[in-house]
Chain A
Amino acid sequence: MASFKPTKVQFLPKLGEKVTEETLYWKNYKSPVQIKEFGAITKIDFSPLPPHNYAVTASTRIHIYGPHSQEPIRSFTRFRDTAYGGRFRGDGKLLVAGSEEGLIRLFDISGRVALRQFKGHSKAVHMTSFLSDGFRVVSGSDDLSCRVWDVPSAVELSSLTEHTDYIRALAPSKLNPDLFVTGSYDHTVKVFDMRSGSSVMTMQHGHPVECVLLYPSEALLVSTGGRYVKVWDLLKGGQELVSLKNHHKTVTCACLSSVGNKLLTGSLDRHVKVYNSSYKVVHNFDCDASILSMAIAPDDEALAVGMTNGVLSVRHRRHQKDKEMLTSRRRRGPSYQVFVKGKNFVPRQDDFLVSKPVKQYLRKYDKQLKSFEVSKALDTALQTWTRTSKPDVTVVVIIELNRRGTLKNALAGRNEESLTKILNFLLKHIFDPRFSRPLLMVGDIVLDLYQQVFHQSPVVERLLQRLMEVLGREAELQQELLQVLGILDTLFTSLTPRKEALAAPPVAQESQLQAA
C-alpha cells in the first residue's frame, strides 16, 4: 500500500541576484553592534597588530576599542578642538592625529599625553599618517600644503604645496618609505616622492577627492570622489582602469578586505558596497545614516562603519562555532529533548536494529487534498501568510486542483470576502510568467461562475475592473513585444542565408574527399 504523495512545490528559479560564494562570504556577518560617539565619526583605523584594536576619531576625542568590547579601552581626550584622522603606526604602538586648529599630535598607545606636537599648519589638518619607515609623519591640511615631519626631532622636513584646494585624502606607500599619495578637492590625485620633493604623477579624478587607497601591490590606486570610484593603474603611468558609479551620493571612504583584496566603498547614500575582482557589486550593507568613514579588520573579522550621526556600527564575522553554539543551546531545551531522546545512540556491532516506521507529516493543504476537501484546501492555500510570502505554494495547490478536475468545485460557492482574496491574488501575480497560466484559468472559471452575481458587490466589481485594465495593458505590452520579435526575425533571416551559403560548400568538398 503506497502512502499519500504530497503535492510537490516546484522549485522555481529566483529572479534577480545570483547567489555566489562571495555573496555568501559577505552575508556571513552578524547584525551590527551600535556604539554612540559624541560627534560625526571621521576616521576609523585598525591596529595592524592583533588583537586588532581600532581607533575611532570623533569630535574632540579618539577612542580605542578592543575587538569585542563596546566600551573604549583607551581614549585620548586632550584635544582643544575637533580631532581628525587618527592613525596607527605600522607597529601599532604610536598613533598620530590632526586637529581643527592645525596641530598634529603623536600619542603612545599606552600613554595619555601627546608625546610630540607638530606645529606648522595654519588650517585644519584632516589627514595624517606615518610613512612606512615609521620615523616620519605626513599630513595633509586645508591650508593646501602637505608636510612631512620628523618624529624624533618633531621638525618639519618638507612642505609640498602643489594642490590648489583642501587636501582631504592621503595614503602612504607601504613598500617605499618615500612615496605617498594625496587627494584633494582640486579634483586631482598626486603621487609625491620625498626624494625629489615634488609630485611624480598627477591624475584627474574629475570630482573633489574624498579618499585614496593603494592596493597592497601598489600597482593600483583607488580614488573616490563625487559619486565615482576610480581605479588607476600606476604602472601604466596613471591610466584609468575603471570608473564605478554604484552610489548615488558622494563616496566618502573605501577600504580593502584582506581576503582577496575586495574593494569596499561607503557613501553618504548610507550604503557600503562590496565589489568583486571584476568590480561588480556582490554585496551591499545598509546603514542608518550617511557614512563618513569605514575600516575593515586585517583578518576581515570586523567591519566598522562610522556615520554622520555619531553612531559607530561594528559587524563581526559569524563563525561556524557560533552556529553550533546556537544549535546546542537549542538542544538543551526540554521540548526538543523529547524528540531527540535516544537519537544519538550509536548501535553496537551485534545489535539488531528495529526501525520504527517513519511517520509522514503532511502540510495542511495536503491533508485536505488527501481527504478530497478541495474547497478547504484552496482556503488553506489562500491564507494570508501563504498567499503573500509563498505564492508558489498557492499556485501549486491551484494546479493540483486543476489536475484533479475539481478546481471549479473549489472555486464555487464563495462569499464576497474570499472572492476578494482570490481576485487580489490574481491581480498581484497574474503577470508573473511562472504563474500566469494557472491563474488565467482561475480567472476564467471565476468569471464563469459568478457572472450573474458580480453586480451585487461593489468591491468585487471594482477589483474586476482593475483586473480588466491590467490585463488590457499587459495584452498591449505583449503585442508590442511580438512586434519587436518580428523586427528581429526579419533582421536575423536577412543574415542567415549568407551564412548557409558559406557553410555548405566546404562540407560537400569534405564529403567528396572522404569518398575519394
Chain B
Amino acid sequence: MVERSDIRVVRCGGSKVNLRPPIISTDSRFVLCASGDLVKVYSTRTEEWLHSLQGHTNQVTGIALNPANHLQVYSCSADGTVKLWDFIDGILIKTFIIGYPLFAIYVSEKHEGVLFLHVSMATDSKNECFQLVAVHPPKSAEQEVEAKEMSVVSSHISSNPSCTAFGRGGEYIAFARRLQLNVYFFRKQKTCSFSLKATDKKGAKNAFTCIACHPTDDCIATGHEDGKIRLWRNFIHKKEYTYSTQHWHHNAVNTLCFTPEGTHLLSGGIESVLVQWQYGAGNRKEFLPRLGGSILHISASSDGQLFCTSHSDNKITVIESSFKVCGVIQGLVKGDAVLTDLMIDPRSIALVLNGKPGHLQFYSLLRDKHLYNLDIVQQEYIYEAGLDQFEVVKAAFDIKGSWLATVEERGQKSSDLEFFLKLWAFDERTQSFVLNTTITAAHTDRIISMCFSSSEETTMLVTTAEDGQFKAWCQGADADTQQDQNFWSCDFVGSYHNLKPTNCSFSADSSLLAVSFQEVITIWSPETWEMLTTLCQPPGVIRDLCFGRLSCSKYLLGTTTRNLLCCWNLLTCALEWSSSVEVSKLQPDPLSENVAAFSYQSKHTDLFVFKPSEPRPLFTNKNVCSEKVHRAVFVPREEPLNNCDESSQWLNRSQLYFLTQNMDLLTFSTATEEDRMLSSSKQLVIDDSVAVTPFYLLLGKHRQQQQKLNTQSHPAADKPQQPQGSVTIKELLHTPAHVLPAASVLCSMFVNSLLISNTGVQQDPLREEMDSEKEEEDSEEEMEACDSQQELRVQGSVDEVTLKLSKAQERELKRVRKTDFSWMAGLIDSKP
C-alpha cells in the first residue's frame, strides 16, 4: 500500500472485535479479544483498552488461554502461525509456524502440549475443506519454531469454529457439520456420528449452527437454524442416544455456552436476548433482553462470575453472573453499509456516521474511542431478520455544530416509503443534541441530498428530493404558530423544468446555492430566491458538486457520471477547465483551497488532490486501496503540521479520512506526524499492567503535574528527570510489600507530599535528585535499605543514634545514604 516515501495509508478506527469469542482471564481482570492482526487486552472493570499484542501479520482467528499457565495465551492467525504470549506484560514468548492458514484454535487441559487447530486444506478456493488437526509443538528454547508434526483428527468439519467443542474433561471432541453431529473419543480413537433430517413436516430447519459440551456431564448442547436447542445424551453408545429439544429462539441460535460449573446453559441469537437455561430443569430460563446487536459469541470466565457476549455491532458486553451488565467495550460500529456521509461534529471534532441501527455514532478520532450514540429514530428496534426498519440515511451538521439535520427512511419500495426529516439543536446544558422539529412530509419522495448554509449568522437547510423539488428550511419563520420556540419551517420551494435534482451545495460565504438538476446546474441566490444562472455540460448527470474555498471561491466544481470533472468560473459563467476522470467522491477541505478527488479505475482507487484554480494535481496517490471510495472527510487538525514538502503540504491543516466499500476507515499519515507520535509514545511510559485504582490515578496526576512543572522551570533538566520519576514510582508500586516501609510511614510521607511546602524544602528534592542521578546505578540493590532508613527518619534523632554505632551499623548507614530518594523527590516535587 505504501507508495510515497513520506505519505502512507493507515488503517484506523480499529477492526472488528467480534470475529471470535472474547476470553476472560482466570483472575477475571482482563478480557482478550482478537481484533484485526492484534489481540487486544481490555480491563473488565474499567472497560479501558490496556494494550494489544502485536506480531501477527494477518487476521487473528483464534485465541485460547494456555491450560498449563493461566498467564499465557495462544493466538492463531491466518498467516499460518500460532503465537504464545504473556498477555499481562504483552511479551511474545514463542512462535510456532504451521504453514497453513489457521481458522481457530482449541486447547484442552487433558491434552497438555497439544494444540487443536482449524486448518483450511483447500487446494483451490472453490471447494474449501476444513480439517481439525492436532499439533504437538516441539519443545525448544528458540523463539521461532516450526511445528510440522500434525495429525488429522477429522477432515470434514464445518467452517464455523463454534461448531466444535471439547467434551467432559477433554475426553471427546464434538463437531457438527450441516446435519451431522460427530463425536470423536480420544481413548477409543473412534468417531460416532448422528445425523438429523434436513426438515420435517412442520418446516423445521435442523442444520447445526453451534455446539457446546457440558463440563462435567456427558451432554452435548447443539443449536439449530430454526432456533431449537437439542441436548444430546448417552451418545457413547451409538444406538441408544437420546436428545431433548428446547425451543425459545425464533431464529438461528448463534452461540451456546455452559457455565463452568455446568449449572446453566447460555444461548444467544439474532434477537439480542441472552437466555440462561437452567441445566436439568427443563424449561426454566432467564432473559437479559436488548443488549445491542445480535449476539455472536458468549464466553464465561473460569470462576463463572463473569460472562462476555460479543455482538454484531462490534461490541463486547461484560455481564455479571447475577445477570447485570457491568461493562461495555464498544468499537467503531460498522454495519453492513454506512448510509450517511462521513461527517465531523464541529464541536467535538468527532467522526459521525451510522452506528447502531437507528443511531448516529460519535467516534473520537484523536483518542480512537467510541464516544456515544445519538438515538435518531427513537423507536424500539426489533431484532428480526428481513424486517424493514427505519434507518438514518442522511445527516448534516451546520457550520457551528449547533444544529444537526437527519433523515430517516423506511421502505425499499417507493410505494410504502416513509421518511422523516428531523432537526436537532445542541443543548449546552446536557451537552448533546435535542430534538427540535420533526417534519413528517418534507417532500413527496425520497430525499437525495441536503446541506446547511455555511454562514455563521443565519442557518438554512436545503434538501433536494426525487419529486423534482428542492426546499429551503429556515428556523422560526412560520407566522401561523405565534410561539416563542424556534421551530423550522419551509421557506422556499424551487424546481427546474421538473427535472430530478441530484445534489446541492452552498458557496463558502452562503451567497450562492448551486443545485444540480440532471445535467444542468442552477445557481440561486438564497437571499431573494432568484435563479441567477444555469450551467450545463451535457455528457452525464451531475453527481458531486462543490464550491471552491478561500482564494478559489469563484470556482464551482462538478463531477458527472460520464467520467468528467468540470470546473466553472462563476464570474464568467464559463467552463474553466475539465478533465476526463471517473470521480467517485469529491471532497473539499474546509480549511484550505484543496479538493480531494477519489477516482475508481480498473479495480483500484486513486487519489488526486488539486486546487480548483489549476487542473494540475498537487498530489497523486495511485492505488490507495482496491475498493471504491464513496465517503471521505477532511478532519481539521488540533495543531497544524509544518511540512515543507510540497506533496504533503495539503495535509498540514487537516487530515483526510475515507471509508472503503469494505467498511475500512483509512487515513493518510505523513512522516513528520509519525515521528511526532513515536516520540510522544516514548515519553509516555504508561504502566498498563497496573489496574487503575484511585491511588494510581492520584500518582499519575502528580506525575503529570511534575512533568509540566519541569518543562516550565527546567527545560534542560527535563530529559534525564522524566524516566526517573516514572521509575521511582514504579518501584514504589512494584516493590514487594515485605520490603516496603510500614504503611504508617508511607502514609505520613504521602500526606506530607500533598502539603504545600515552603521554599526551603523545595530545594531539598533538587539536591536529592542530584544525588540520585549519580547513584542511579546502584539504586536497585539498595532498595532493601529503604525501610531501615525510613525508621530512622521517623525517630527523628539520627544524630544521637550515630554516636554509638558499631562498624556494621556504620556500613549500613553508608548504604542508606546512597539510597535512591528520587522516587520521593518525585512525590515532593509534585506538590505545587
Interface residues of A (CB under 8 A from B): 1-8, 10-11, 18, 20-21, 369-370, 400, 403-405, 500, 503, 507-508, 511, 514-515
Q: With A503-B530, A508-B533 known to touch, is A1 a contact of B482 (CB < 8 Å)?
A: no
Partner of A405 from B388, B481, B532, B571 at Cβ < 8 Å: B388
Question: How many A-B contacts are there with CB distance less than 8 Å?
Answer: 59
- List chain A residues, Cβ under 8 A from B379: 5, 7-8, 400, 403
- List chain B residues, Cβ under 8 A from A508: 533, 573
**A interface footprint on B433-444 (CB within 8 Å = 1, 0 otherwise):** 000001010000
- List chain A residues, Cβ under 8 A from B573: 508, 511
A5 and B380 form a contact (CB under 8 A): yes
B480 and A514 form a contact (CB under 8 A): no
Give the distance in Å from the alpha carbon of A7 to the alpha carbon of B511 in the complex.
Answer: 42
Q: With A403-B389, A507-B533 known to touch, is A20 a contact of B482 (CB < 8 Å)?
A: yes
- List chain A residues, Cβ under 8 A from B382: 403-404
Give the distance in Å from the alpha carbon of A21 to the alpha carbon of B484 in the complex.
Answer: 11
Give the distance in Å from the alpha carbon of A10 to the alpha carbon of B440 in the complex.
Answer: 9
- List chain A residues, Cβ under 8 A from B325: 1
Partner of B410 from A18, A20, A403 at Cβ < 8 Å: A403
Interface residues of B (CB under 8 A from A): 288-292, 325, 375, 378-380, 382, 384, 387-390, 410, 438, 440, 480-482, 530-533, 570-573
Question: Least Cβ distance of A20 to chain B in Å?
Answer: 6
- The closest CB in chain A to the CB of B523 belongs to A507
- List chain A residues, Cβ under 8 A from B291: 1
A4 and B290 form a contact (CB under 8 A): yes
* Pairs across A and B, CB under 8 Å, 15 listed: A4-B290, A5-B378, A6-B380, A10-B438, A11-B438, A18-B481, A18-B482, A403-B382, A403-B388, A403-B390, A403-B410, A404-B384, A508-B533, A511-B533, A511-B573
A18 and B480 form a contact (CB under 8 A): yes
A4, A403, A515: residue with the most chain B Cβ atoms closer than 10 Å: A403
B482 and A503 form a contact (CB under 8 A): no
Question: Least Cβ distance of A384 to chain B in Å?
Answer: 27
Q: With A1-B291, A5-B380 known to touch, is A514 a contact of B571 (CB < 8 Å)?
A: yes
Give the distance in Å from the alpha carbon of A370 to the alpha carbon of B378 in the complex.
Answer: 15
- List chain B residues, Cβ under 8 A from A403: 379, 382, 388-390, 410
Partner of B290 from A3, A6, A10, A405 at Cβ < 8 Å: A3
Give the distance in Å from the alpha carbon of A391 to the alpha carbon of B597 in the complex.
Answer: 52
- The closest CB in chain A to the CB of B570 belongs to A511
A4 and B380 form a contact (CB under 8 A): yes
Interface of B is mostly: loop
B380 and A369 form a contact (CB under 8 A): yes
Question: Least Cβ distance of A282 to chain B in Å?
Answer: 12
Give the distance in Å from the alpha carbon of A450 to the alpha carbon of B389 in the complex.
Answer: 28
Question: Least Cβ distance of B439 to chain A in Å?
Answer: 11
B572 and A511 form a contact (CB under 8 A): yes
- List chain B residues, Cβ under 8 A from A18: 480-482
Give the distance in Å from the alpha carbon of A42 to the alpha carbon of B572 in the complex.
Answer: 80
Partner of B571 from A3, A11, A515 at Cβ < 8 Å: A515
- List chain B residues, Cβ under 8 A from A4: 290, 380
Give the distance in Å from the alpha carbon of A261 to the alpha carbon of B291 in the complex.
Answer: 62
Question: Least Cβ distance of B166 to chain A in Å?
Answer: 31
Q: Given A8-B378, A503-B531, list of 7 further CB < 8 A pairs? A: A1-B291, A5-B379, A10-B440, A11-B438, A20-B482, A403-B382, A403-B410
- List chain A residues, Cβ under 8 A from B288: 1
Would you list the 3 A-B pairs with minimal beta carbon distance, nearest first? Answer: A5-B380, A515-B571, A515-B572
- The closest CB in chain B to the CB of A5 belongs to B380
B571 and A511 form a contact (CB under 8 A): yes
- The closest CB in chain B to the CB of A404 belongs to B382
- The closest CB in chain A to the CB of B410 belongs to A403
A21 and B378 form a contact (CB under 8 A): no
Question: Least Cβ distance of A488 to chain B in Å?
Answer: 15
A5, A6, A11, A508: residue with the most chain B Cβ atoms closer than 10 Å: A5
Give the distance in Å from the alpha carbon of A8 to the alpha carbon of B358 in the complex.
Answer: 15
- List chain B residues, Cβ under 8 A from A3: 290
Q: With A4-B380, A403-B379 known to touch, is A507 a contact of B532 (CB < 8 Å)?
A: yes
- List chain B residues, Cβ under 8 A from A369: 380
A404 and B480 form a contact (CB under 8 A): no
- List chain A residues, Cβ under 8 A from B481: 18
- List chain A residues, Cβ under 8 A from B533: 507-508, 511
- List chain B residues, Cβ under 8 A from A405: 384, 387-388
Give the distance in Å from the alpha carbon of A313 to the alpha carbon of B292 in the complex.
Answer: 63
- List chain B residues, Cβ under 8 A from A507: 530, 532-533
Give the distance in Å from the alpha carbon of A514 to the alpha carbon of B570 in the complex.
Answer: 10
Question: Least Cβ distance of A439 to chain B in Å?
Answer: 14
- List chain A residues, Cβ under 8 A from B438: 10-11
Give the distance in Å from the alpha carbon of A120 to the alpha carbon of B438 in the complex.
Answer: 73
- The closest CB in chain B to the CB of A12 belongs to B440
- List chain A residues, Cβ under 8 A from B290: 1-4
- List chain A residues, Cβ under 8 A from B571: 511, 514-515
- List chain B residues, Cβ under 8 A from A21: 482
- List chain B residues, Cβ under 8 A from A500: 531
Give the distance in Å from the alpha carbon of A260 to the alpha carbon of B482 in the complex.
Answer: 19
B482 and A404 form a contact (CB under 8 A): no
Question: Least Cβ distance of B388 to chain A in Å?
Answer: 7
- List chain A residues, Cβ under 8 A from B530: 503, 507
Question: Least Cβ distance of B131 to chain A in Å?
Answer: 40
Give the distance in Å from the alpha carbon of A3 to the alpha carbon of B380 in the complex.
Answer: 9
B292, B379, B380, B480: residue with the most chain A Cβ atoms closer than 10 Å: B380
- List chain B residues, Cβ under 8 A from A7: 379-380
Question: Least Cβ distance of B670 to chain A in Å?
Answer: 39
- List chain A residues, Cβ under 8 A from B532: 507, 511
Question: Least Cβ distance of A98 to chain B in Å?
Answer: 45
Question: Least Cβ distance of B468 to chain A in Å?
Answer: 13
Question: Least Cβ distance of A426 to chain B in Å?
Answer: 19
Give the distance in Å from the alpha carbon of A5 to the alpha carbon of B572 in the complex.
Answer: 56
Question: Least Cβ distance of A516 to chain B in Å?
Answer: 9
Give the distance in Å from the alpha carbon of A157 to the alpha carbon of B43 in the complex.
Answer: 105
- The closest CB in chain A to the CB of B482 belongs to A20
- List chain B residues, Cβ under 8 A from A503: 530-531
- List chain B residues, Cβ under 8 A from A511: 532-533, 570-573
Give the distance in Å from the alpha carbon of A489 to the alpha carbon of B710 in the complex.
Answer: 78
- The closest CB in chain A to the CB of B274 belongs to A1
Partner of B387 from A11, A400, A404 at Cβ < 8 Å: A404
- List chain B residues, Cβ under 8 A from A400: 379
- List chain A residues, Cβ under 8 A from B480: 18
- The closest CB in chain B to the CB of A6 belongs to B380
- List chain B residues, Cβ under 8 A from A20: 482
- List chain A residues, Cβ under 8 A from B289: 1
- The closest CB in chain B to the CB of A438 belongs to B418
Question: Least Cβ distance of B147 to chain A in Å?
Answer: 44
